[in-house]
Structure 1
Amino acid sequence: MRLFLIVPAALLALLPLGCGSDTPDPNDPSQQQNQYAQGQPGQYQQPGQYQQPGQYQQPGATSTVPPPTTTTPAPTTGAAAGSPATPIAPAAAAMVQPVMQGLATQEAPGMQPDGQPFAAQFQEGQTLEQAINIQPGKCYTVIGASAGVQELDIQLVLHAAPLPPQVLAQDSGSGPNATLGGKAGGGCWKNPLPVGGPGKVILKATRGAGLAAAQVYVK
């Protein structure tokens, strides 16, 4: 009876040695090499599929940001057409007085000054207006001279409100000096109406800038 119980117990103890185990030993070097050769589960990736966030870009694609555009205003020169010139005292225009006197001797012989001379400092396109009273039956000549202005022009305008201004006469010459109704232009301008009215003389620096003055003569 005792021998029968001992034999089966010895056989049971030898069964694990004969059958072995299906689980590989993690400390076996050959098992570790097989794992590296086959790759760990979940670690295999197709080449070129992994990108860091924000770094993926299509081949050949470029991203350019256009530079900011700025607009430089065009430079302005001269003055707005018809804007007023800066009036100055007649004494400040003494440098053109000899020219005016010489023109008056040639263009307005026997005529008398009507009021005082008037003068201004001009930028190109600016004008100076001088009010006068146009008398009936009178004849008028206006002499203008300048220093620095290349083209000086003169107009005589009737301005009887509420009627719009009406140009009665203007000079026909060119250059830095101007004469309206002078001897060379057929004589002074005569008011054809039996009545007078308020008017004005407009002196304009059509081209160039500088000092200009004018004087009205009447007879």
Structure 2
Amino acid sequence: MRLSMIVPVALLGLFAVGCGGSDTPDPNDPSQQNQYANGQQPGAYNPNQYQQPAPTPTPAVTTPAPAATVGTGASGGSPATPIAPAAAQAATLVLQGMAASEAPGMQPDGSPFAAQFQEGQVLEQAINIEAGKCYSVIASGVGIQQLDVQLVLHAAPLPPQILAQSNGQGATAILGGKANGCFKNPLPIGGPGKVIVKATRGAGLAAAQIYKK
């Protein structure tokens, strides 16, 4: 009787030993190798295990600023500094001397106008271009190497249109004159315009006078 009771008890002890789990980690288990590499015990909580990857930042899109634009007109230069014709007496005396030969039979249209110029600067004088009238402009400069004159039709909203211009060299500019004749408006109606005097080369003072007939 004693032997028969010992055998079942011994068998139960062996069954418990054979079926029970082992708490000792196996370093040869691939599922546990990462935990050994990170210095963690198998089964320990890893806070990085469930961490979501950081989102990839979207690169900012930069829209280039529109280039900047520069308007161009018939004058093609910055404005000169207007002065009283009396302050440009050296130039106005030349105008008076040239009027008899370059604008014979013509009358002054308005008063002389003058300015102090830097190279490339312009002086604009408003004019009403009358129907059927003939125009000449005489300009003279002091200290300016190249002076030019334009007669421009400026009837908004249309862009400025050059009707006539001087073609000489030096500090004296003549639009029309005895060589080319005055500019005659071929239209049956008049319109707003302007005379543009430009110091194309050099700096100094200049005066101009419009004539018509």
TM-score, normalised via structure 2 length: 0.64
Gaps of 5+ in 2: 1-75
Rounded to whole Å, the distance in 2 between the matches of 1:209 and 1:97 is 17
CA displacement 1:170-212 (0-9 Å, x = unmatched) = 0011100000011112x11000000000000000000000000
1:127 Cα deviation from its structure 2 partner: 0.2
SS state at 1:195 partner: coil
Matches within 5 A, 1:13-162: 82-162=77-157
Query: Identity of paired residues, percent?
Result: 75
Question: Which amino acid in structure 2 is aligned with residue 127 of structure 1?
Answer: V
Question: Which amino acid in structure 2 is aligned with residue 200 of structure 1?
Answer: K
SS state at 2:192 partner: strand
CA displacement 1:52-96 (0-9 Å, x = unmatched) = xxxxxxxxxxxxxxxxxxxxxxxxxxxxx6010000011111111
Rounded to whole Å, the distance in 1 between the matches of 2:145 and 2:78 is 18
Rounded to whole Å, the distance in 1 between the matches of 2:144 and 2:91 is 12
In the other structure, the counterpart of 2:209 is: 215
Rounded to whole Å, the distance in 2 between the matches of 1:97 and 1:121 is 13
SS state at 1:179 partner: strand
Rounded to whole Å, the distance in 2 between the matches of 1:131 and 1:215 is 12
Rounded to whole Å, the distance in 2 between the matches of 1:174 and 1:123 is 18
Rounded to whole Å, the distance in 1 between the matches of 2:155 and 2:166 is 22
Rounded to whole Å, the distance in 2 between the matches of 1:149 and 1:106 is 23
What number of residue pairs does the alignment pair up?
Answer: 138
Check the 8 A contact 2:92/2:112 in 1, yes or no: no
Check the 8 A contact 2:85/2:92 in 1, yes or no: no
Rounded to whole Å, the distance in 2 between the matches of 1:192 and 1:110 is 20
Rounded to whole Å, the distance in 1 between the matches of 2:101 and 2:201 is 25
Q: Are residues 1:171 and 2:166 paired?
A: yes
| The structure with more radius of gyration | 1
In the other structure, the counterpart of 2:26 is: none
1:149 Cα deviation from its structure 2 partner: 0.3
Question: Which amino acid in structure 1 is aligned with residue 162 of structure 2?
Answer: V
In the other structure, the counterpart of 1:206 is: 200
CA RMSD in angstroms comes to 0.8
Q: Which runs of 4+ in 1 moved over 4 A?
A: none
Gaps of 5+ in 1: 1-80
SS state at 2:86 partner: helix
SS state at 1:163 partner: coil
